[in-house]
Every structure is written in structure tokens, then in C-alpha cells.
Chain A
Amino acid sequence: MNTHPNSFRNQPDERGHFGEFGGRYVAETLMPLVLDLEREYRAAQADPAFAAEFDDLLEHYVGRPSPLYFAERLTEALGGAQVWFKRDELNHTGAHKINNCIGQILLAKRMGKTRIIAETGAGQHGVATATVCARFGLPCVIYMGAEDVQRQSPNVFRMKLLGAEVVPVTSGRGTLKDAMNDALRDWVANVKDTFYIIGTAAGPHPYPEMVRNFQSVIGTEARAQMLDRVGRLPDLLVACIGGGSNALGLFHPFLDDTDVAMLGVEAAGHGLDGDEHAASLLGGAPGVLHGNRTYLLQDEDGQITEGHSISAGLDYPGIGPEHAWLKESGRVEYTAVTDEEALEGFQLLCRTEGIIPALEPSHAIHAVSERAKAMDRDQIVLMNLCGRGDKDIFTVAEKLGVEI
């Protein structure tokens, strides 16, 4: 890794800080645990056998490397830059989430932990966690907002098929952030045997760094594939952002490639001018929640407000601290796309490429459409297609006024 002082790739510092963001804002009971986790993670990083097992599972269980795909008809339809996709929606379980879960379950196993907990919003991280728990024979408890349990019943059933216990969360307002609160409450009461698999590049250090590193397989592969296929790097990277793990996974290996621009796409919900959005960076302010200092949706007293997005996977009032730092440093540009625009992106990809995307990357597809049109035909946009849309067809049908 490039570690010269001006690198964008050498964060966080030894205290887990990305500039003024990140850190370890946890209760004292958990503090020794996150310190222990960091020690074990550093040991695993230095152990070639850990990397070998991770790589082997990614290849033979997850199906990596995921393809790099030139979206020819979408490119024609837009009439601008070439659009390429990193096809992480083809992974086992249908999204990028599994990359991180493989890494964390290997770490849990290494640490001798015998019980896994996780939070989930739409259920993709819950399914990925339940999957690796089944694969490694560990009991698994998934905390999920009670309303999401109703809305995402197919994913709840998937988790149960995989042997997980799904706990509907009714504390607070029964949403993803409350599911994370309940997962933290479980962890603090079961400190000896339990490993908490956090689903995005957020939470107390070392989670943001660790999740980013596990997900960086996306960008590392894409960079090599791009050089192999077209002999140069893309001009623009695009990815959607909830907590931000798929975007960091794509961006991080390119951060020191100064000619590669990057665009992170947040969920603007019903629009940034109101309260009904989930754009923490563009519509929030710095604060402390769930173990890290980052941009949060909050009121003037620091009370956390609820995000809204058509996509349950983006519907979280915070964002990974590295994104907060990348925004302030100016290295990555951030924008936001509304529910309506995401639906347009969803349908556009279905019709032009025969790919049904998840609603999360549909936000990025809309942003790609806008940007590509304004770029030259010899330029290249690379987007992470981080999840497939099977889980979302009911939501989309309802929005389009179709009964299925």
C-alpha cells in the first residue's frame, strides 16, 4: 500500500481517526472488546494463511472475481461516456455484503467466538451474515427493525431458512439505527462469546477500516480488469452510499490515482429541501453515533432524525467516517438522487441491459446517466453494480402502481 504522507489511502491513524472523523465512541464495557478486535485483526492481516482462506472463499464460495462489464446499449442510449459496471450483484447472495461477511466470520472463528450477531435494514446484510454463519456452523441472531421485518418478508424467510434467529426490533422507532442499538446492547451483555458483524464501513474503529479493506477486493479487481481490458484507468467512478461500504470498496484502491474522479451518490428520498431523505453528507452535520464521529441526520440538539429512502439499504441517518473525511478533503464528490430518479435508473437498466438492479445502485445508475451524457465518448465511467433487484420487485411494483 502507498503510505507516503500525501496519500489518501493511509487513513485512519492509530486511534482510528480519519481526520476529525471516526474514532472509538463506545461505552467502557465495549472498549476492551474493540481494542481486542483491533489486535486480532492486525494479527490476521499479517498472517498469509488468513488472506489465503479469505481469497479461497471469495473465489469458490462467493464467485469472485466479479465480471467487469461494458454496458454497450446503455452507453448508446446515453450518447456520452462509455459506461462499465463492476458486477458485484452476481456474487453469492446477490450483493457486495458477502465480501465483508466472509472476512469477519473468519476473524470471529480465529478469535474463538461462538455466537454471531448483526443488524440489518433491508435484509441483505442479514442474509449475507446468516449465510456465512450457516457455512461455518455458528449460531446467528439478526436484529431487524419491526417495520422492515414486515416490508422485507422474503429476506426474513431467507435468513430463517439459513438457520438465523431474526429479532424484530421495537425499541426506539423500530428502524435500522434502532436495530444497531439493540445489536450493541446484545454485544455489551454477551462480551465473552459474541462477535458483532457490522454490515457497513461504520461503527467504532477498527470496523470502518476493516470493512473497507474486506470490500476493497471490488476496486482492486476492477482496477486490474480495467487495465487489462482497455489499458487505462476509468475517468469517473460512481457508487451509491448508505453506510458507504460498496463505494469505499470500489474507491479506495483508486484514491491515489489522481486522474480518476469519484462520485458518491446518497439517497435524496423525496428531496433534500425537506426532511424526507437519507443524505447524511449533503443534508446532515458532524456528530457522534454508533461508535464513530461522522456526518449524521440530526436536529439542533443532536437528536438523531430518521432517514427516508425508497431503498431500505440506504435508509440510515449516518455514514461511514471515511466518507466524511473524503468529502472534507475534496477527494470524492458527493451528490444525491431522489426516489423518483432512482426508479427511472432502475427501469433504464432493466430495459437497456437486461439487468434488474437493486434500488440502492439504481440511485448510482441515475447519477451515471446524468454524468455520462455530459462526457466525451472516449471517456469511461465505472459504476459498482453492488446488488441485484430481486428483493425490490414488490416495492417497485407498488411505486409503479402494478399489482403482483
Chain B
Amino acid sequence: MTRLQSAFLKPHPAFVAFVTAGDGDTASNLNALVAGGADVIELGMPFTDPMADGPAIQNANLRSLGARTTTADVLHHAREFRERHPDVPLVLMGYANPMIRRGPEWFADAAAQAGVDGVICVDIPPEEDDALGPALRAKGIAPIRLATPTTDAARLPQVLEGSDGFLYYVSVAGITGQQQAAAASIESAVGKLKAATDLPVAVGFGVRTPEQAADIARVADGVVVGSALVDLVGEHGTDAPRQLKDLTAQMVSAIRRATEGTHA
């Protein structure tokens, strides 16, 4: 069983926590997320042009690149994380260009050696899977795809084909960190996704409070939080790890309370 599979077989929905690599003290930030109870870590690869992201993650990218974070640094953070936390799944999330700059095989190989479990590439849809997907699969790394409110029933099978790890449902048509969709629409959308796949479905975009996380936990297999966490890194600098741990613990607690006795 893979680390990602194990994370979604726990007796509660998974809390998936995102921070941007190279923004603040990455090792301490990641440790804090694990200490707070995060089940899956998404480590953002900074990019100059994060066109699917809202201001919070855009700024995290700028801070990271301003600190001269390189691809080698991101992989180094991943490798060290894997040594410290052998059982916590780690997913790299980012944009195509930094991932394929040295060729997809190079990236897949480097990520596998660093102990990365999955990759979310925002701007490689199923239609362009050749650009990265085969290289990831060859190294046993899960290509994690996004489904959105615009992904209709006719298109969904294509999104699921070749998808692995978990399915990331983007609850709103928009950029990261903005408003959250209505709970009813999320429940309906997740229901349709789960009818079409055995993959766990994690829901993100616009989840900022423990209450929102609890609402999603009632209907999904995982809750993804990014912007609210990277905002803490931006605001608190060296004190960010303590803040990250606190918010993560609140989210995790809300998720577990919301689903006590109900989640498989």
C-alpha cells in the first residue's frame, strides 16, 4: 500500500495542507503541519507566473523566488522531509514549465529519488498528459488530477483516465484562496465524482476556516487548505511554524469532530 492510500484509509477524512517551498523556513513549516496533524503535505513549487492562483499563493511564490529558491532547493526540502517523516505522503504541486524544464524524465526521476508520492501539475490537462504523465507513472509517482465545476459528465472519464493518488476537486470556478462554494453544491459534485471513481476525493479552493473544513469533511475524503496557511507564513515569518501548527490542529480537530462515528 502506498503512503497516499494509507493516508486516505484513516478513520477520518484527510487534512491536506499546502505551503510553498522556499517561503519562510520550509523544514520547520512542514514539521509544524505534521505536528498539527496534517495527513498529506502539498509542497508548492514556486513559479513566476502562477496563473491559477489568487493573491495569497501568488505572494508566497514571489517571496520564495525573491529568496532565490531553485528547483534543487525544492527537491532538497522534499528529500529531507522524507527522511524526517517516512510515513507522511508528500505531493509536489505547481506549474508545467519548472517541472519539464530539464525534461519530464529528469523531473520524475529526481522527485522519485526525493521520496515524492504524487505530483499535481495545474496546467497539464489530460489532453497534454504526454508532457509529464508517462514519466511520472514510470517512476511510481501518482499524477493527481483536478476536477472542477466545469468538468462535466462527458469529460470526467478523460480526467480520471491515468489519474492516481486522489482526485482533487476544485470547488469553485476561479483562482485559489477566494470564496468557497456552497456546501450543497460541493456535496452534489463530490457525489458524482465518487460514483465515477474509486479514488479518494479531496476538496479545496477557498477553504479558510475550521468551520468550512468541517463542512467539506462531512461529504469528502479530504480537505485541502493552502491560502490560509501561506498567509500565516507571509504574516508571521519566523513565528509561522507555531501559527501553522495551531491552525492545522484546529482544522484537524474540526474535521474529526464533524465526522466522528460517520466516516468509514
Within 8 A of B (CB), among A12-36: 15, 23-33
Within 8 A of A (CB), among B27-63: 47-52, 54-55, 58, 62
Within 8 A of B (CB), among A170-216: 171-172, 177-178, 180-181, 184-185, 188-189, 191
- A180 to B50: give the CA distance in the assembly, Å: 11
Note all chain A residues with C-beta closer than 8 A to B47. Answer: 302-303
Which size bracket describes the interface of B in this complex? Answer: 35 or more
Note all chain A residues with C-beta closer than 8 A to B54. Answer: 185
- A189 to B71: give the CA distance in the assembly, Å: 30
Partner pick for A25 among B50, B128, B178, CB 8 A cutoff? B128
Chain B interface SS verdict (over half): loop
Complex interface bits, B79-121 against A, C-beta within 8 A gives 1, otherwise 0: 0000000000000000111111100000000000000000000
Check A228 for interface membership: any CB of B closer than 8 A.
Answer: no
Q: Is the CB of A301 within 8 A of B174?
A: no
Complex interface bits, A255-290 against B, C-beta within 8 A gives 1, otherwise 0: 000000000000000000000000000000001111
Note all chain B residues with C-beta closer than 8 A to A177. Answer: 49
Complex interface bits, B113-142 against A, C-beta within 8 A gives 1, otherwise 0: 000000000111101100100000000000
9-residue interface stretch from B5-13, B143-151, B227-235, B238-246 = B143-151
A contact residues, total (Cβ < 8 Å)? 36
Known: A189-B175, A191-B173, A288-B96. A29 touches B148 (CB 8 A): yes
Check A120 for interface membership: any CB of B closer than 8 A.
Answer: no
Q: Is the CB of A24 within 8 A of B127?
A: yes
Check B197 for interface membership: any CB of A closer than 8 A.
Answer: no
| Sample of 11 A–B contacts (CB below 8 Å) | A25-B125, A26-B125, A28-B146, A28-B147, A29-B173, A32-B155, A185-B54, A188-B173, A290-B49, A298-B101, A300-B101
Spell out B's residues near A (CB within 8 Å): 47-52, 54-55, 58, 62, 65, 70-71, 95-101, 122-125, 127-128, 131, 145-152, 155, 159, 170, 172-175, 178
Spell out A's residues near B (CB within 8 Å): 15, 23-33, 171-172, 177-178, 180-181, 184-185, 188-189, 191, 287-291, 293, 296, 298, 300-304
